[in-house]
Each structure stands twice: as C-alpha cells, then as structure tokens.
Structure 1
Amino acid sequence: MKIAFAGKGGSGKTTLSALFTRFLAESGHTVAAIDADINQNLGQALGVPADELAALPPLGGHLTEIKDLLRGTNPRIPSAEAMVKTTPPGRGSRLLALDGDNPVHRRFGLRTAGGAVLMATGPFTEDDLGVACYHSKVGAAELYLNHLVDGEGEYAVVDMTAGADSFASGLFTRFDVTFLVAEPTLRGVGVYRQYADYAREHGVRIMVIGNKVEDGADLEFLREHVGDALVAAFGHSRFVRAMEKGRHPRLDELEDDNLKVLAWMRDAVDATPKDWEAFTRQGVEFHLRNAEAWAEAATGRDLRGQVDPDFTMGPSALAASRRPAAS
C-alpha cells in the first residue's frame, strides 16, 4: 500500500511518519520510506546518523538517471529527456517491486535500524535558490510511485511537504491512503479543509489523525471540524519528546494507547481496497493535463503519445515485465 502523511508544519506529521514506518518495519513488513518534505527531517526522526544521511544520494538531484532507469525499453519513450515527472509507465517500462532487487533502492536508499529502506528527495541547494520550486525535486518521488507495484504486506510511506503544496502536481493521487495529521487548533484543521476540497473530485481517501490530543475537549474540537474523517487520536507522549531530543527508545516503550493507534492505522490501511485501474487512469489524466498545460511546450515533444492505452499498472504488469523477451 502507498501511504502519505500530510498536515501543517509543526503538526507532527514527520514524527508520525517515522513512528508508522518503524512500527511496520519492526513488525516484519517490507517498507520503503521517502522524505518528500522540503525540511528533510524524516531520516533524523528514524534515528539515522547524520553522516549516513549526508551521504544519501537525493532522488531530486538524479532525475535523468531515474528516468533512464524507469523508461526501460518502452518504445513510446525514446530518451530520458522525453520524460517528465508525470510520464506514465507502459509496456517495456521498468516496473519496481518493494521486495527483492529494486534498483532505485539499491542506488538511492539506505537501510534504517528498523529495517525500512529510506530515500529522500533532497533539500534545496544554492543553485536552486530563487530559480526552482520544490516540486521539481518531488517529481522524482512521483515517478517512483508511478512505477511501483506494491504487494500484500508491503508499504511505501511518504512524508509530504507541509500544507497543501502537494496539490501542485498529481502526486496526491498516488496514494491508497492519506493520513492527515491535525492538531486540535483552527490552523491544524484548516489544512484538512484545503485537502478535502482539492481532493474531493479525485477519489483521494483522507483519514485524519488527531495529534497532541490532551483530553475530551480536544477530541470534541476535532470531531466538530473534521467530522467522520477523524479516525484516531495520538496523545502527548514522553516517547515522542525523547525522539525530539535526539534519543530513539525501543518501540515497545511507546505508550500503550499510542501504540494501539499505530496498529489501528495499519489495519485501516490494510482494509483499504486496492484499485490499480483507478491508479492507472488518474496517472494518465494528470499526465495529459500537464502535457497540455506546460510540458509539451517545455519539451517540444508530443507527450500525449507516451500513453499506452492497453496498459494497466499492477501485479500482472509487473509479472509481464519480468518475463524474458521472446526471441
């Protein structure tokens, strides 16, 4: 399953992304985590040493390499330069699995203490300041998710950039579930309203996780403002406070009520129906929209011709891509 964590800055979405990633990985599941937040704090929250994080190749700094890898032998994509961040996979594309030998993980990932693979889109550099937007880096994560076939018991967890910025691309449609982390404040629930308004026509499944909830009044405030979208509440935590101070206790030291929230979140994700046809259709729709709006003019190419009308993403496509070519 593909899972996003969203929310306003300071809501605790990165902390919950890290805790959920640890919970899944330490439960024996296959997990890939992507830091797609401009602030790039997920690795630190997972307890990865600073020197290892510094050596992690950023996805956003190697777009051409990633495109060359993913286009495979797809005849509709003659070169990496012909690809944009929304280019959908088709027959001949290099599809990715979370298990086994994943070349993107091998090149751009590192194994965390809990067993998850961590990747990062990368921070702004001096060359980016004033001339680039962060979506150019997040496009690498979008390409990765477009080409990823996740199976049962496998999870891709993405810590999104704060606020509603992810709606500047089709990235927000790439997830089976979006956990929106909201504090019991007007600003905290305001981001939910933005997400709900933008996502309504696209079938995006949003589940609100209340965070820093102290009492029944906080819960009632969240229910008043987000209604049935509120599915769980994470209380104040000494464990989390230790994380914020740079310590990383064993996960079994997490408070029982908060540990139960993580288990409930996993169960809610697992109960979500997987719809590969919708995933494929939405990817194509946003690609065609981007092609018309800017991408064909920017590349000077017919990007609408990249759509393979007979291709549907999913396990069958992955299996077909692994079969040797007929001689």
Structure 2
Amino acid sequence: MRIAFAGKGGSGKTTLSALFTRYLADTGLPVVAIDADINQNLGAALGVEDGASARVPPLGAHVREIKELLRGDNPRIGSVDEMVKTTPPGRGSLLLDLSAANPLHRRFGCPAGGATLMATGPFEESDLGVACYHSKIGAAELYLNHLVDGPGEYVVVDMTAGADSFASGLFTRFDVTFLVAEPTVRGVGVYRQYADYARDHGVAIRVIGNKVQDAEDVEFLREQVGDALAACFGRSRFVRAMEKGQHPPLDRLEGDNLKTLAWMRDTVDATPKDWARFTRQGVEFHLRNARAWADRATGADLATQVDPEFVMGPEALANQAVA
C-alpha cells in the first residue's frame, strides 16, 4: 500500500510520516519511506545522522539512470531520451517489488527507523533560478509507476508542502492520502485545495488533526472539513523529544497518539487495491503531459508509449518473472 502525507509547511506532516513509518516497521513488515519534500527532513526525523544520509545518492540527481533501468526492453520506448516521468510501464518494462532484490533500494536506499529510506534530494546551487523541484520529484513518480506492492507492504511518502503535488499526476499514485492539518484556518486551507483538485480523480483524502489540545480544537476541525476528519494527534512530549533530535522507543509514545497510528494502519489495510484505476490514471496523466509539453520536448509522439493491453499489478509482475 502507498501512503502519502500532505499538508502545509509546519503542519507536522514530516513528523507524522516518520512516526507512521516507525510504527509500520515495528511490525517487521517491509516499509519504504520516501522524502519527496523540498525541505529534506524525513531522514533526520527517522534518526538518520547527516553523514549517513549524505552517502545515499538522491533519486532526483540520477533520473536518467533510473529511466535506463526501468525502461528495460520495452519496445514502445524508442530511447531513454524519449522517456519522461509519466511514461507508463508496459510489456518489457522493469517492474519493481519490495524484495531485497529491488535495484533502486540497493542503489538509493539506506536503513532508517526499521525501514528503507530514499530521498529525492534537495535543491543544489546549480538548480537555483533555472530548475523546478518537480524535476526531482519525477524520480519518485517513476518509482511508484513501476512498483508492484503487495499485502503487508508499505511505501510512505512525505510530500511537498501545500498543493504543489498537483503539478503532476503524483497525487494519483497512492492508495491513501493523509492530510495533516492543525486546528487553524490556514491549517485547513490546504485541505480545501486538495479536495477541490482530487475530487474528479477518485482520490480519497483523510484529514489527521495535529497539535490538537482539546475538544474545541476537534470541533473546529470537524466544522471545517466534515467527515474527512479521520483522527486527531494530540500535543506530545514524545514529539517534542523528536524535535530536539532524540529518538525514544515508540512504546513511550502517548497512548492516545499510539491508538491514532493504529487506526491509520487499519484504514490503510482496509483500503482496496485498484490496479486497473492505477493503470488508467497513469495513462491519463501521461497523455496530458505528452500534449502539454513532452511531445515537444522529446520530438516524439509519446502517446505511442502506451501499451493498451498492459495492466499494472501482480499478474504483470508474475509475467515478468516467467519471462
């Protein structure tokens, strides 16, 4: 299952991404955490020291290498130069799973909080004024487009702050989107943006109230977001310790907050997987990008990259193993 954490800057989405990653990893199940925020703080929240994370190559700096790998021998992709971030997999593409053999995990991952951490990477000096951060996030989109995750396997993504994620089809690549909102007018503003953008694409958004102090805060959130309010995370001494660079055992987390994490996992596990919709939406956004800019940028008709008989999912992964 793929889980996105979104929200405005300072809402606590990175902290909750890290806590949820740790909670899932404590069960012993496979978990991948991806830092896709322009402010790269997920590794620190998971207890990775700066020196260790610096040794891991950022996904965003190796997009061409990732494309070459995922292209495989797909005959519909003429060259790696014609492969863009939205190019959907087809027969011959390299599909990924969450096993130890995953080449992207081996190349770009590091242990963190019991999970495998990958990061899109920060802005570099050479990026300033000439590049868009979405070019780096495209590496995460390629990864998710080619990943077949099964029951009891999790990918947690800390998204860019605000509604920037809607600049690409990345927001459709998840089974569950948790939007972290403080009980303030600004805190729920991003929810309204997300809800408006996602409404026509079947993306269900569940709001997690954060830094909630009392019943009045809960009532405010419920008035603002209605039934989308799924759970609340209260003020936490445990989180304060995390913000000071400490990483206490998860069993020291306050009982009510631990129950919120458990509820979140139950919600994720109860969400049905819809590979047909995943495939259809991937094709839809690829064709949008092709018409808007990618055909012009590559000099190719990228609509021909769509394999009409291909459906992403376990069957496609099994066929790859047989081949």
Give the match for residue 235 of structure 1.
Answer: 234
The amino acid across from 2:51 in the alignment is D
Q: Structure 2: how far apart are the matches of 1:74 and 1:141?
A: 20
Deviation readout 1:15-48 (Å, 9 max, x if unpaired): 0000000000011111000000000000000000
Cα RMSD, aligned residues only: 0.6
Q: Structure 2: how far apart are the matches of 1:190 and 1:199?
A: 14
- Secondary structure of the structure 2 residue equivalent to 1:178: strand
Is 1:8 equivalent to 2:14 in the alignment?
no
Q: Structure 2: how far apart are the matches of 1:101 and 1:133?
A: 32
Q: Structure 2: how far apart are the matches of 1:61 and 1:322?
A: 29
Task: Structure 1: state its 5+ residue gaps.
Answer: none
Give the Å deviation of 1:100.
3.1
Matches within 5 A, 1:105-116: 105-112=105-112, 114-116=113-115
| Deviates most, 98-107 or 13-22 | 98-107
Give the match for residue 298 of structure 1.
Answer: 297
Q: TM-score, normalised by structure 1?
A: 0.98
Task: Structure 2: state its 5+ residue gaps.
Answer: none
The amino acid across from 1:231 in the alignment is A
Matches within 5 A, 1:184-263: 184-263=183-262
Q: Structure 1: how far apart are the matches of 2:199 and 2:11?
A: 22
- Secondary structure of the structure 1 residue equivalent to 2:233: strand
The amino acid across from 1:151 in the alignment is G
Is 1:24 equivalent to 2:24 in the alignment?
yes
The number of equivalent residue pairs is 323
Give the match for residue 80 of structure 2.
Answer: 80
Give the Å deviation of 1:99.
2.1
Q: Structure 1: how far apart are the matches of 2:273 and 2:10?
A: 31
Give the match for residue 272 of structure 2.
Answer: 273
Q: Structure 2: how far apart are the matches of 1:93 and 1:290?
A: 20
The amino acid across from 2:157 in the alignment is V
Q: TM-score, normalised by structure 2?
A: 0.99
Q: Structure 2: how far apart are the matches of 1:185 and 1:160?
A: 21
Q: Structure 2: how far apart are the matches of 1:60 and 1:322?
A: 28
Give the match for residue 136 of structure 2.
Answer: 137
Deviation readout 1:226-278 (Å, 9 max, x if unpaired): 00000000000000000000000000110010001000000000001110000
Q: Structure 2: how far apart are the matches of 1:236 and 1:271?
A: 27
- Secondary structure of the structure 1 residue equivalent to 2:309: coil
Give the match for residue 34 of structure 1.
Answer: 34
